[in-house]
Structure 1
Amino acid sequence: MLRVALTGPESTGKTTLSRLLAEQYTTTWAPEYARYYLEQHGPNYTMADLERIAKGQLRAEQNAMQAAQVQGRPLFFCDTDLLVIKIWSEHAFGVCPQWIIEQIELQRYDLVLLLDVDLPWEPDPLREHPNHRQYFYDLYQRELRERLSNFAEISGAPAERLEQACFHVDILLGKTSFWRTARISQG
């Protein structure tokens, strides 16, 4: 089962792209649990709330994976990941619970799509940092590089984002000759 996560700062289209990718590949996706949680409990959160959100995100991913398996699909998508919780926690509280850091190491994704901040900010009562999106983007990019994650940066208008994401997912699925061609030309 291949796992593809979408990550990045607020208001970069993660939810929309996750849903579109799941439709494109007729599979499942795990919605961002933080949104559900904060809609139920309000936008003010504590470290304990972030830990509950992290556990809820893991359950959502497990449910999406099981549903994809039942459907006989080779992959599923995750609208956000624990890296979002880590960066969010470190920014808000200066620290991230160790179990979340350990879980990030255990829970590798086959592909991570890092969404750029080149879409306009869309106000939302649950969003906090309209003027810090590039700062957060740089943090995500650094973390993914340091972890040697298989990731691709996705930018542009929504249609371009879907096209770019599908290109990378197709490579993951072996549906393109891109890698074969590159290997042949190298020697």
Structure 2
Amino acid sequence: MRKIVIIGPESTGKSTLCKQLAEYYNTVWCPEFAREYLSEKGMDYNYEDLLNIAHGQLELEDSMMQEARNGYYFIDTDMYVMKVWCEVAFENCHTWILKQIAQRKYDFYLLCSIDLPWESDGLREYPDPVFRKKLFDMYKDIVINSNTMWAEITGTDTQRLQTAITILNTIYKRK
């Protein structure tokens, strides 16, 4: 099973791309657990909440993987996202999250660019274009140094989907 993680700052089309890719490859995708957690708890989160979210994300990822088929499993968010979130919000990261980064292996990262406009949804925090660029650069540095294949995804939702499909079909020799 190829585990493909869609990564990047908030409001860059990660969930949309995950859903579209899962539909195209006739498989499942793992949503971002944080959205469910924060929708219930609210945005007044603390450092420990991020550890709870990380645990929930991995539990969801592991359970959804059982339903994946056709050789692909798309994951919206991984522990690198949790690391960045912890460091940006609290200038620290839980050791458990760092250990999960070292232990878990993925096959490919699709890094979503910040070229889509930021959209407020009640859960997003960073609309400032300069700060979005800083976050994007943090994610780009992560994927460059991850020892995992990756590609940057840009353009409209349709362009992003077509680019991702072309890349994955080329890498994995699928017609």
Q: Compute the TM-score of the two structures, normalised by the length of structure 1.
A: 0.89
Q: Deviations over 1:35-75 (max 9, x none)?
A: 0000010011111110110011101111221111xxx4211
Structure-1 separation of matches of 2:77 and 2:61: 10
Q: Deviations over 1:7-54 (max 9, x none)?
A: 000100001110000000000100000000000100111111101100
Identity %: 43
Runs (5+) with no aligned partner, structure 1: 177-187
What's the RMSD between the two structures over aligned residues?
A: 1.1
2:134 alignment partner in structure 1: 135
Which is richer in helix? Answer: 1
1:124 alignment partner in structure 2: 121
2:164 alignment partner in structure 1: 165
2:18 alignment partner in structure 1: 18
Q: State the shift of 1:121 in Å.
A: 0.9
1:1-187 counterparts in 2 under 5 A? Answer: 1-68=1-68, 72-131=69-128, 132-175=131-174
Q: State the shift of 1:101 in Å.
A: 0.9
Query: Given that residues 31 and 79 in structure 1 are in contact (C-alpha distance below 8 angstroms), is that contact kept between their aligned partners in structure 2?
Result: yes
Structure-1 separation of matches of 2:4 and 2:31: 13
135-144 or 73-82, larger mean C-alpha shift:
73-82
Q: State the shift of 1:122 in Å.
A: 0.7
Structure-1 separation of matches of 2:150 and 2:44: 31
**Letter of the 2:112 counterpart:** L
Structure-1 separation of matches of 2:16 and 2:72: 18
Q: State the shift of 1:117 in Å.
A: 0.2
Q: Deviations over 1:86-117 (max 9, x none)?
A: 00000111111111111112112101100000
The count of corresponding residues between Structure 1 and Structure 2 is 173
Structure-1 separation of matches of 2:58 and 2:171: 22
Structure-1 separation of matches of 2:22 and 2:59: 18
**Letter of the 1:6 counterpart:** I
Q: Deviations over 1:100-143 (max 9, x none)?
A: 11111211210110000000111111100111211100000011
Query: Given that residues 111 and 172 in structure 1 are in contact (C-alpha distance below 8 angstroms), is that contact kept between their aligned partners in structure 2?
Result: no
Q: Flag the structure with larger Rg.
A: 1
**Letter of the 1:109 counterpart:** Y
Structure-1 separation of matches of 2:60 and 2:167: 23
Q: Compute the TM-score of the two structures, normalised by the length of structure 2.
A: 0.95
